[in-house]
């Protein structure tokens, strides 16, 4: 006894729905397990991911050199050397002065407490008033306030020295990943495109690869220029205020500005601490973070939107989610990589298409959104269901 067309269609629909359900369950399980795997294997995944992001950002320089008939291995070496030169300049401008400056923190605690004395007195007065009010209401004595004690911070140089072997190994590994990725980039891209079964598939693959390279390199290149300019402006303003190590503070501001929303807040807090360590007047000590945050507001609300434009506009909610996720997985390094990784994911999903999860759960029963008109033709003869 044969199966008619309607039965075959129902069987095919049930099979598609089963496969879609299994795909959805597997995808949810992978999404739940992936963060813990990335966090547990941070010693491998973090340098690898950072190296790949850096390599993608260096691809335009690599292609510019290859168009001038520079061999790919030599062009890759030049790109790596340029990146290492920029990284060493940043380390020399930030890390070395910062270790000298913050080494003075234990000896400056008295000055910091003296500068904060008006605020501490105000807090003490408010606390006494609150305790008195509570005693009058509850007729019970209030608990004595806890006294905070400042401990001597651990040595920055000692912390770096203790973790130096692992950091050196990860750094060498990341440099090698960048070099081999760049040296084989042209051939790898050509093989990826030519191995597609159809011309449309090859064109789609080429478009996705080019979009990822263009978006990541454009974002990192543009943001780097903006952050360096912001750091120089802040350095000049701090130099005029008499703040020691103005280039160091400008470098810290430029580096932390890669982290949206939270980075400028951390930079302002560090500048406030540095101001309290440097100046004797609390209002003068708070002037450096005010100047820095004013420059950041101008940059974030006027300069960056005008330069970046709408091409790399990302939903702020997605940025916050990405920052929270990668910051939880890999700490500060993850927060620095959050936006580039979000751009890569957004570009790939925009080209490959997003799964229709809502349609699978509530309407169509598959993870693929049907074409316009297809659903209406399929359901034209079916009775409508009242909800």
Tell me the C-alpha to C-alpha distance, in Å, between residue 257 and each of 77, 118, 187. Answer: 29, 31, 35
pLDDT digits (tens, 9 = 90+) for 309-357: 655 667 788 888 888 888 899 888 888 888 888 888 888 777 666 666 6
pLDDT digits (tens, 9 = 90+) for 140-186: 444 444 444 444 444 444 444 455 577 788 888 899 999 999 998 88
Is the separation of the CB atoms in 228 and 77 below 8 Å? no
Q: What is the pLDDT of residue 155?
A: 47
Query: Which residues touch 367 (CB under 8 Å, ≥6 apart)?
Result: 20, 23, 24, 355, 356, 357, 359, 360
Q: Taking the CA atoms of the chain, what radius of gyration do you get in angstroms?
A: 28
Reduce the secondary structure of 323-387 to three states and give it as a string: HHHHHHHHHHHHHHHHHHHHHHHHHHHHHHCCCCHHHHHHCCCCCCCCCCCHHHHHCCCCCCCCC
pLDDT digits (tens, 9 = 90+) for 217-275: 888 888 889 999 999 999 999 999 888 889 999 999 999 999 888 889 999 999 988 88
Q: Is the dihedral of CA 187, 188, 194, 195 positive or negative?
A: positive
**Helices (runs of H) and strands (runs of E) counted in the chain:** 17, 0
Query: Which residues touch 58 (CB under 8 Å, ≥6 apart)?
Result: 79, 80, 82, 83, 178, 182, 217
Mean pLDDT of the chain: 77
The average pLDDT across 355-376 equals: 54
Burial class (CB in 10 A: 0-12, 13-18, 19+), 353: exposed
The tokens describing 198, both together, are 């159809």
Residue 259 vs residue 135, higher pLDDT:
259
């Amino acid at each position: 006894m044969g199966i008619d067309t309607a039965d075959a269609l129902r069987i095919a629909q049930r099979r598609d729905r089963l496969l879609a359900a299994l795909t959805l369950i597997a995808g949810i399980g992978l999404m739940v397990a992936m963060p813990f795997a990335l966090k547990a294997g941070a010693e491998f995944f973090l340098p690898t991911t950072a190296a790949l992001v850096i390599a993608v950002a260096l691809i335009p320089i690599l292609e510019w050199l290859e168009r001038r008939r520079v061999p790919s291995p030599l062009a890759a070496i030049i790109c790596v050397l340029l990146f290492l030169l920029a990284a060493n300049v940043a380390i020399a401008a930030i890390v070395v002065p910062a270790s000298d400056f913050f080494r003075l923190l234990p000896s400056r605690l008295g000055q910091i407490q003296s500068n904060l004395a008006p605020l501490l007195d105000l807090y003490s007065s408010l606390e006494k008033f609150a305790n008195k009010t509570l005693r009058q209401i509850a007729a019970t004595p209030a608990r004595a306030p806890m006294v905070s004690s400042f401990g001597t911070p651990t040595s920055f140089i000692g912390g770096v020295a203790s973790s130096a072997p692992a950091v050196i190994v990860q750094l060498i590994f990341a440099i090698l990943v960048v070099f081999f990725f760049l040296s084989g980039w042209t051939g790898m891209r050509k093989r990826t495109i030519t191995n597609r079964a159809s011309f449309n598939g090859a064109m789609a693959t080429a478009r996705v690869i080019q979009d990822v390279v263009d978006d990541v390199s454009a974002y990192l290149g543009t943001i780097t220029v903006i952050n360096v300019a912001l750091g120089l402006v802040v350095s000049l303003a701090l130099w005029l205020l008499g703040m020691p190590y103005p280039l160091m503070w400008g470098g810290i501001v430029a580096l932390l500005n890669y982290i949206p929303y939270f980075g400028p807040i951390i930079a302002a807090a560090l500048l406030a601490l540095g101001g309290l360590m440097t100046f004797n007047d609390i209002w003068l000590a708070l002037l450096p973070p005010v100047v820095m945050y004013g420059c950041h507001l101008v940059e974030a609300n006027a300069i960056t939107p005008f330069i970046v434009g709408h091409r790399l506009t990302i939903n702020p909610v997605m940025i916050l989610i990405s920052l929270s996720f990668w910051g939880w997985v890999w700490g500060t390094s993850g927060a620095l990589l959050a936006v580039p990784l979000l751009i890569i994911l957004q570009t790939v999903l925009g080209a490959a298409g997003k799964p229709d999860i809502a349609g699978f759960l509530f309407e169509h029963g598959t993870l693929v959104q049907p074409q316009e008109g297809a659903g209406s033709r399929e359901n034209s003869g079916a009775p409508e269901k009242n909800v």
